Amino acid sequence: MNANNINIIIDKEGICNLVFDSKNQEHNLFNGEVINELSEIIDSVINDTNIIGFIISSAKKSFHHGYDLKYLYTLNNAGEIFDQIYKLSKTLRKLEISRKPVVCAISGSSNLGGLELILHCHYKIADNSNSTNISINNVKYDLCPNIGGSQRLPRSIGVSDTLDLLLNDNTLSTKDAYDKKIIDEITNKEQLFERCKIFIKNNKESYQIWDKKQNISPFEEKNLGYFISKIAMLHAENADLYPSVKILMSSIFEGLNTDVNTGLKIEARHFTWLLNHKETRSMLKTLKFTKSRKKVDENIIKLCKKSLEENYSAEGVKLLIEGVAAPLIENAGKRLGFIDSPLASADKLELQSLIPHLDSKDAAVSALIRSMQKINRKGCSTNKGFYDYKDNKKLKLWHGLKDLIPPSNKQPEISFVEQRLLFSCINNMLYNYTKIFKNNDQNLFDYLSITKMSLPTWTGGPFSWIKNFNVKKFNIINKEFEKSQGSRFIVDQKLLDSI
């Protein structure tokens, strides 16, 4: 019995090999067709008394890469998204609880989605070739688990190890995966299937540990403390601009308070919300779907990046001159997801570099920079700027700054400071697109702006961000900033009309 994307091979000993081989794809991927095929296949083989166990393997050079993102992005209706996500979870769960041993024959590369498939198996064996690995992107810039990973991984390796793995960029070799207890055995490529068969023949019945008992709880003292501190840290760092992180935490925390079956439903529900989130879709659309053969001169990219960083820093100094407290400015920049806070960025660039971004209305800013230069506070090169430094390491904000520029008694909301900084940077990017980039490819510019020009990734790029924010609303707020701040908030109307 063969389907278009999955081959079924049953040997004379009753071992059923489900061989994934997605047609017209470089990697094995789950889409609507594959999910439907898999559902039909599992229903047909699960109760076959002649079958004593299952092997999950790949006919491709890679093992599995999870969901087909292009397919996921065709699902716009929340009900349709949930039904497909949960259908795959329930289908694989049938195999997992069949009592018949399910063994994974891992050969080639996988990503997080491939790891989630691996975790369904009772025993995981990988070959020892250099090409076999599991590559996990930081879910902050990607989608969180959606094939049961948020439920099985913490139950397998613990909560803290799960979050450390998923909130960083990691490429696990087979040895790394074995050491982390993600896989159970490493063997030569030639012996991979034989080792799988030996396990099946030696184990008439197999269960997952979470189907025997609930082996972990977020309310255990060590886990609860970890959750609380991690949630606080992530909120401070990201200000909820990367919802995938929040969804991951919620899925794990809520799922571990119940059984796996309910946890899978919780995960599917949360993932449905995430996939419908406009900033998630925008960010991933820019990162994953922008394909261009146009080559852009690296010098042009560097000019755009330099201009953005200097503009961002200058805007922070302008806010300081207006009486906004330095810690408030710095926190706003961090919450927006920039690499550095505005004043720290100014120190790195050296204060002199901000001068070109000032105009006649910024005489007070120029005076501040000159005053600081006179006392040798020029930035990181002198170990003194808006911050004090030691051996090029940032220590703390300069204590004398508040005496030189006293903060106003009444401070604005941090949301206003964030908006001012972000609008200034978006406008700078639009100016750079017209005056420096000159490529007339908004999608490509979006991609380069978040991968090479330092604009925060969550925005999806200036054009994507404006679309999500609303072009008309963006224009109205810009006009208000223009009245108080000047020409840097004037946008080319033709360019806005093209978005």
What CATH number is given to the structural domain containing 333? 1.10.1040.50
Q: Is residue 248 part of a domain?
A: yes
Q: Are residues 271 and 310 in the same domain?
A: no
Question: What is the predicted pLDDT for the residue at 362?
Answer: 85
Q: Is residue 223 part of a domain?
A: yes
User: Is residue 134 over pLDDT 90?
Assistant: yes
CATH at residue 106: 3.90.226.10
Q: Are residues 105 and 152 in the same domain?
A: yes
Query: 40-52: per-residue pLDDT in tens?
Result: 999 999 999 999 9
User: Is residue 316 over pLDDT 90?
Assistant: yes
Question: What is the predicted pLDDT for the residue at 125?
Answer: 98
Q: Are residues 343 and 380 in the same domain?
A: yes
Query: How far apart, in whole angstroms, are the C-alpha atoms of residue 104 and residue 437?
Result: 49
Q: Are residues 55 and 204 in the same domain?
A: yes
H or E segment to which residue 309 belongs: helix 298-321
What's the mean pLDDT in 474-494?
93
Q: Are residues 230 and 334 in the same domain?
A: no
User: Is residue 273 over pLDDT 90?
Assistant: yes
The CA distances from residue 84 to 90, 187, 194, in Å, are 10, 35, 34
Q: Could you count the other beta carbons within 10 Å of the beta carbon of residue 176?
A: 14
CB 427 within 8 Å of CB 413: no
Print burial letters for 373-408: b (CB count within 10 Å at least 16), e (below 16).
beeebbbbebbbbbbbbeeeebeebbeebeeebebe
Question: What is the predicted pLDDT for the residue at 214?
Answer: 61
H or E segment to which residue 56 belongs: strand 53-58
As a three-state string, the secondary structure of 5-21 is CEEEEECCCCEEEEEEC
Q: Is residue 217 part of a domain?
A: yes
Query: 349-398: per-residue pLDDT in tens?
Result: 999 899 888 887 788 888 999 999 999 999 999 999 999 998 878 999 99
User: Is residue 85 over pLDDT 60?
Assistant: yes
Q: State CA 129 to chain mean position distance.
A: 28
First and final CA of the chain: distance in angstroms? 50
Q: Is residue 292 part of a domain?
A: no
What's the mean pLDDT in 70-90?
93
Q: Is residue 295 part of a domain?
A: no
User: Is residue 208 over pLDDT 80?
Assistant: yes
Question: What is the predicted pLDDT for the residue at 216?
Answer: 64
Q: Is residue 164 part of a domain?
A: yes
Query: How far apart, in whole angstroms, are the C-alpha atoms of residue 57 and residue 76?
Result: 31
What's the mean pLDDT in 228-248?
75
Query: How far apart, in whole angstroms, are the C-alpha atoms of residue 254 and residue 269?
Result: 12
Residue-range definition of the domain harbouring residue 124: 6-275
Structure tokens at 444: 């490509």
Question: What is the predicted pLDDT for the residue at 242?
Answer: 86
User: Is residue 1 over pLDDT 60?
Assistant: no
Query: How many angstroms separate the most distant Cα atoms in the chain?
Result: 87
Structural domains of the chain, count: 3
Question: What is the predicted pLDDT for the residue at 438?
Answer: 87
Q: Are residues 387 and 445 in the same domain?
A: no
Question: What is the predicted pLDDT for the residue at 360?
Answer: 73
| pLDDT band at residue 22 using 50, 70 and 90 as cut-offs | very high
CB 134 within 8 Å of CB 172: yes
Q: Is residue 287 part of a domain?
A: no
Q: Is residue 280 part of a domain?
A: no
Structure tokens at 428: 């700078």
440: left (phi over 0), alpha (psi -120 to 50) or beta: left
Which residues neighbour 173 within 8 Å (Cβ) at sequence distance 6 or greater?
Answer: 132, 133
Q: Are residues 26 and 147 in the same domain?
A: yes
Q: Of 275, 296, 319, which one is at a domain's C-terminal end?
A: 275
Q: Are residues 248 and 372 in the same domain?
A: no
Q: Are residues 381 and 441 in the same domain?
A: no
Q: Of 386, 404, 422, which one is at a domain's C-terminal end?
A: 404
| pLDDT band at residue 121 using 50, 70 and 90 as cut-offs | very high
Question: What is the predicted pLDDT for the residue at 361?
Answer: 79
| pLDDT band at residue 294 using 50, 70 and 90 as cut-offs | confident
Q: Are residues 376 and 258 in the same domain?
A: no
Query: How far apart, in whole angstroms, are the C-alpha atoms of residue 434 and residue 463?
Result: 13
Closest C-alpha to 131, from 178, 183, 181, 171: 171
Query: How far apart, in whole angstroms, are the C-alpha atoms of residue 341 and residue 326?
Result: 10
Q: Are residues 205 and 333 in the same domain?
A: no
H or E segment to which residue 127 belongs: strand 123-127
Q: Of 372, 404, 436, which one is at a domain's C-terminal end?
A: 404
Q: Give the bridge partners for 56, in sequence order.
A: 18, 104
Q: Are residues 349 and 243 in the same domain?
A: no
